[in-house]
A and B are shown apart, each in its own frame.
Chain A
Amino acid sequence: MSGLRPQFSPDNTHPAFSYGLNAPQAFAAARAQAAALPVLEEARKRLLCVAMGFLACFLLISGRLFDVMIFNPDAERSSSSSTLPAHVSRADIVDRNGELLATTLQLASLAADPAYVLDEKETLTKLKTVFPDLDVAALSKDMHSGKRFVWVKHSLTPRQQEQVNRLGLPGLSFQNEERRIYPKGGLTAHIIGYNSVDQQGLAGIEHSLNKRLTESQDSLPLSVDIRLQSLMHEALLDGMHKFDAIGGAGLIMDVETGEILALVSLPDFDPNNPTQASDSARFNRATLGAYEMGSTFKIFTISQALEKGVITLADQFDCRKPLKFGRFEIHDFHPENRYLTVPEIFVYSSNIGAAQIIERVDGKDQKKYLGSLGLLDPSPIELSEVTKPLVPDVWRDINKVTIAYGHGLSVSAVQLASAAASVINGGRLVKPTLLRRDHAPTDMPVVLSSNTSAAMRGLMRAVVLDGTGKSAEVKGYLVGGKTGTADKSAGGGYNRKSRLASFIAAYPIHRPRYLVFAMIDEPKGNKGSHGYATGGWVAAPVVAKVIGESAPLLRVAPVDENDPLIMERLRLPGMIGGAKKQAAANAQ
């Protein structure tokens, strides 16, 4: 082998360090010389240490590779995922029973890069088989616009995505997008609201609780029961159509906890497609609409007068003719043209009577009382769409009198319902909420004595038995309520033709648990109502329908109305056996 080695001439460097020895002997000599050199010996020892260090490093890397890739992939994943910008999805919204009301889906959208599309005609033809509604002409135009990114179709279903994949067309790509889905559509539109395209809440709970929904992944349970929401929606829509109304609002509230079980505003819109909705459809009539509510306010007038002791239920007032008040004249809608007892004033909804009752109350006290019921401040409900009540700047006597029968102070439906619930439930202030509560709050301020509250329940039962609210009666459920018919103010005056008809009720009234409110905006009287478009004719049947259908769901058992215990609970002094009989007795 050595014979075949190439021959080299000597290097000109120091011979001991030269490569170029041309004979094996010289080679051996150099090696001996080098071996003698202690520095080189030491260097070799040190080099061995360096080599060991390198070997250790390479072994460490190999070990780490095993560690990461084989042995402990899950532990690594969890530790590193905390450092990754984890994708946080918006929390679901569910009803009180866990029914899904809003959720976020990851959907693929299809885009094309025209530069990579080989055969445009083939691509479009094949895509058309997957998306029959594809606008081929518009897409073709887009693809010739010179852009490198063209949307083909947003929000594909998984099946469509698979079908597109199966086409095997080049130049197409999927972009993952988040989409908020509202499975109940318009049914919950005014409660849930909707989001912007970048998933920020714009309306409803999505807006007011945006922070909660983005910070926690836990689904958010609302107080709403979708079944009650649905039947409220149905009944209200029915009432609206029957009387050719422009809108409506309704709600069901638990008078113990303040939980709102249903809250409907009509017309509504599809929150999955909010941009298509009209302003009117997006307007929440139940919380953002401020209305003069009319006679339902007599609940507050009479409850305050009773509470202050300025009247008793046996007191009578002269309601024979319209009451002149300065340049105003106060009329009754259902004139009895006689002396009326306090229960009669309530049952027949006499404005003349209510005006006379409030004259015994100081205006400041009236304002304070209405304020304590939450009627002078925006509702604390968890929605951004709440109105500020329209309160007169100066609380004059005329304001006091008109407010006594529900004109001159505009409030929202949810404010009225909360205030009425507070009067009915034994006199504890109800704070309305859209979030599920498991217990009634323990710190409800007392706004009324329980005696007055009991009297009001009796009066409301009488309205349904004998008065303006007869069509709200549902046998066995002891409905008590109060009608409200208000002329809507227009251009500084009132318009007799455009009205707001409402009915507020609670059941079972001897031990009230649920409050039902319905309001129909601008109903027109029809044959069935003999041309009337009042709360009793228009809204009371809606409430009756809701009560009849909701009671089984809410597990309210029907009772015997003639049960002496129940009769005793609802007995009104001066009204035994019904208002008419009492009135007849008074007349004698």
Chain B
Amino acid sequence: MPIARSDRSVLGRWWWTVDRWTLGGIALLLIFGVFLIQAASPAGAAHLGQSGFYFVERHLLELFIGILIMVGLSLLNPGQIRFVALLLFVTAFILVVATLYIGAEVKGARRWLHLPGLSIQPSEFLKPAFIVLCARLFSRDLETPHFPGRWLAAGLYVITAIVLLLQPDMGMTVLISAVFLAQLLLSGAPLKLIGGLVTLGAGGIGLGYLLLPHVASRINRFLNPDSGDTYQISRSLEAFRNGGWLGVGPGEGQVKMSLPDAHTDFIFPVAGEEFGLIACLVIVAVFAFIVLRGFWRLGKETNFFAFLAVAGLLVEFGLQAIINMGSALHLLPTKGMTLPFISYGGSSLLSLSIAAGMLLALTRKHAGPDR
């Protein structure tokens, strides 16, 4: 469908101003995701007693909603994005607090709200909203004299981190902390302060190691595979090894049958086994492309809010991918984290769609309010 550059309709203008390369990268990831979930879904569905393509069908539905949200958000201007972020943060925060009381306990953590027809993990939605709000607070700190933006951002971080730790959701806390640190760094905070906070963060992980048994066991198992059950990681590596250069072929993978969470957190090994090294490298390259291209384009960004927000969203997106792939390859301790846009997972996919929508909105050429 050719769209003339002179097309002044909403969509026409969107098409010519949006970062089409990033959009293309995201689209590629979504397509990989659909393929891989088709491969991994039957095994996961069999565990749940559902029909083979249960996850594929749900994923396609959620994908459709996600694309609508992404495109919709990318049409907004920075002011509207900030408004959406504020609204989303407040809603998500209330729901996260609610999960502590009425949430369903899944695998030892209360992260999920079961609503009729769907289950949502509200903490996922905190992420993009938190990043955009922090970016706003940091940029206001700079623009408006006597505006205590950094302190407010710090406060926002502390309450967010507390509710996430109460879930407990160590992975998301680490992710949010990393993004916050990155934004603090980029906002011009003294390097000494950053260094101090990193030390503090390491201490926090150490504290988590001491206080939260499941964190301790995961780290122990990473450092010393013989100390406990490393079933997932062993199966994951086995899947990669089976794959070789070109993989065993779509749907031919065997390890996925015995790999728990093959359709969510461990979808990368499925890609490795069925499509091989080349496909894995392509996936890594697409993630790297989106993140690094985003950073490169920020070199020309003059709006400080957009700079911080986009950088934060890219850090979140990139870190999540790195942590997921690193876990599957036994470079990092296993962390319940999805592979952006590829893994199945409604809340995660929708959250990422929101993040991507905001990213696209803030990176649009000369984006601004409609006439």
Q: Are B187 and A31 in contact (CB under 8 A)?
A: no
> With A and B bound together, what is the CA distance between A84 and B226 in angstroms?
9
Q: Are A80 and B234 in contact (CB under 8 A)?
A: yes
The residue in chain B whose Cβ has the minimal distance to the Cβ of A35 is B302
A554 adjacent to chain B (CB < 8 Å):
no
- With A43-B187, A62-B281, A69-B240 given, is the CB distance from A31 to B302 under 8 Å? yes
Q: Are B284 and A43 in contact (CB under 8 A)?
A: no
Most interface-central of B226, B238, B304, B368 (chain A CB within 10 A): B368
Q: For B238, list chain A residues within 8 Å (CB).
A: 77, 80
> With A and B bound together, what is the CA distance between A85 and B365 in angstroms?
56
Interface string of A43-68 (1 = CB under 8 A from B): 11011101100110110111011101
Q: Are B304 and A40 in contact (CB under 8 A)?
A: yes
B125 adjacent to chain A (CB < 8 Å):
no
The residue in chain B whose Cβ has the minimal distance to the Cβ of A85 is B231
The residue in chain B whose Cβ has the minimal distance to the Cβ of A5 is B366
Q: For B204, list chain A residues within 8 Å (CB).
A: none
Q: Are B368 and A58 in contact (CB under 8 A)?
A: no
Q: Are B302 and A30 in contact (CB under 8 A)?
A: yes
Q: Are B296 and A51 in contact (CB under 8 A)?
A: yes
**Which of A8, A17, A34, A44 is close to B366, meaning CB atoms less than 8 Å apart?**
A8
Interface string of B274-313 (1 = CB under 8 A from A): 0011001100110110011001101100111111100100
Interface string of B212-247 (1 = CB under 8 A from A): 000000000000011000110110011011011100
B284 → chain A closest CB, angstroms: 5
Interface string of B72-85 (1 = CB under 8 A from A): 00000111000000
> With A and B bound together, what is the CA distance between A136 and B241 in angstroms?
43
> With A and B bound together, what is the CA distance between A335 and B32 in angstroms?
100
Q: Are B234 and A84 in contact (CB under 8 A)?
A: yes
- With A4-B6, A20-B369 given, is the CB distance from A54 to B302 under 8 Å? no
Q: Are B369 and A6 in contact (CB under 8 A)?
A: no
B36 → chain A closest CB, angstroms: 16
> With A and B bound together, what is the CA distance between A54 and B314 in angstroms?
10
B114 adjacent to chain A (CB < 8 Å):
no
Q: Are B277 and A6 in contact (CB under 8 A)?
A: no
Q: For A70, list chain B residues within 8 Å (CB).
A: 244-245, 277
- Name the segment of B19-27, B53-61, B158-166, B323-331 touching the other chain: B323-331
B254 adjacent to chain A (CB < 8 Å):
no
Q: For A359, list chain B residues within 8 Å (CB).
A: none
B120 adjacent to chain A (CB < 8 Å):
no
Q: For A76, list chain B residues within 8 Å (CB).
A: 237, 241
Q: For B277, list chain A residues within 8 Å (CB).
A: 65-66, 69-70
- With A8-B368, A58-B287, A83-B225 given, is the CB distance from A65 to B280 under 8 Å? yes
B318 adjacent to chain A (CB < 8 Å):
yes
- With A11-B369, A55-B292 given, is the CB distance from A65 to B241 under 8 Å? no
> With A and B bound together, what is the CA distance between A69 and B371 in angstroms?
54
Q: For A80, list chain B residues within 8 Å (CB).
A: 225, 233-234, 237-238
**Which of B182, B240, B367, B371 is close to A19, meaning CB atoms less than 8 Å apart?**
B367
A14 adjacent to chain B (CB < 8 Å):
yes
Q: Are A64 and B237 in contact (CB under 8 A)?
A: no
Q: Are B280 and A43 in contact (CB under 8 A)?
A: no
B186 adjacent to chain A (CB < 8 Å):
yes
Q: For A73, list chain B residues within 8 Å (CB).
A: 241, 244
**Which of A12, A17, A65, A79 is close to B143, meaning CB atoms less than 8 Å apart?**
A17
Q: Are A61 and B303 in contact (CB under 8 A)?
A: no
Q: Are B226 and A65 in contact (CB under 8 A)?
A: no
B152 adjacent to chain A (CB < 8 Å):
no
B245 → chain A closest CB, angstroms: 7
Q: Are A17 and B241 in contact (CB under 8 A)?
A: no
> With A and B bound together, what is the CA distance between A466 and B274 in angstroms?
84
> With A and B bound together, what is the CA distance between A353 and B245 in angstroms?
90
Q: For B315, list chain A residues within 8 Å (CB).
A: 50
A28 → chain B closest CB, angstroms: 11
A133 adjacent to chain B (CB < 8 Å):
no
Q: For A77, list chain B residues within 8 Å (CB).
A: 238, 241
Q: Are B302 and A58 in contact (CB under 8 A)?
A: no
Q: For B284, list chain A residues within 8 Å (CB).
A: 58, 61-62, 65
Q: For B334, list chain A residues within 8 Å (CB).
A: none
Q: Are B143 and A14 in contact (CB under 8 A)?
A: yes
A442 adjacent to chain B (CB < 8 Å):
no
**Which of A16, A33, A61, A66 is close to B326, meaning CB atoms less than 8 Å apart?**
A61
Q: For B292, list chain A residues within 8 Å (CB).
A: 51, 54-55
Most interface-central of A12, A44, A61 (chain B CB within 10 A): A61
Q: Which of B1-60 contact A (CB under 8 A)?
A: 5-6, 8, 13, 16-17
Q: For B243, list chain A residues within 8 Å (CB).
A: 69
B347 adjacent to chain A (CB < 8 Å):
no
Interface string of A1-32 (1 = CB under 8 A from B): 00011111101111011111000000000110
Q: Are B188 and A68 in contact (CB under 8 A)?
A: no
> With A and B bound together, what is the CA distance between A572 and B71 in angstroms?
114
The 10 closest A-B pairs by CB, nearest first: A34-B302, A20-B368, A8-B368, A58-B288, A51-B295, A39-B188, A73-B241, A69-B277, A68-B240, A43-B186
15 residue pairs of the A-B complex, CB under 8 angstroms, read A6-B17, A7-B371, A9-B371, A11-B77, A11-B78, A11-B79, A17-B305, A19-B78, A39-B304, A43-B187, A58-B291, A58-B322, A61-B322, A76-B237, A79-B225
Contacts A48-B295, A61-B325 given; 15 further ones with Cβ under 8 A? A5-B366, A9-B368, A11-B77, A11-B368, A19-B366, A34-B302, A39-B304, A40-B307, A43-B308, A55-B288, A61-B322, A69-B241, A69-B245, A69-B276, A81-B234
Q: Which residues from chain B sit less than 8 Å from chain A, CB to CB?
A: 5-6, 8, 13, 16-17, 77-79, 139, 142-143, 182, 185-188, 225-226, 230-231, 233-234, 237-238, 240-241, 243-245, 272, 276-277, 280-281, 284-285, 287-288, 291-292, 295-296, 298-299, 302-308, 311, 315, 318, 322, 325-326, 329, 331, 365-369, 371
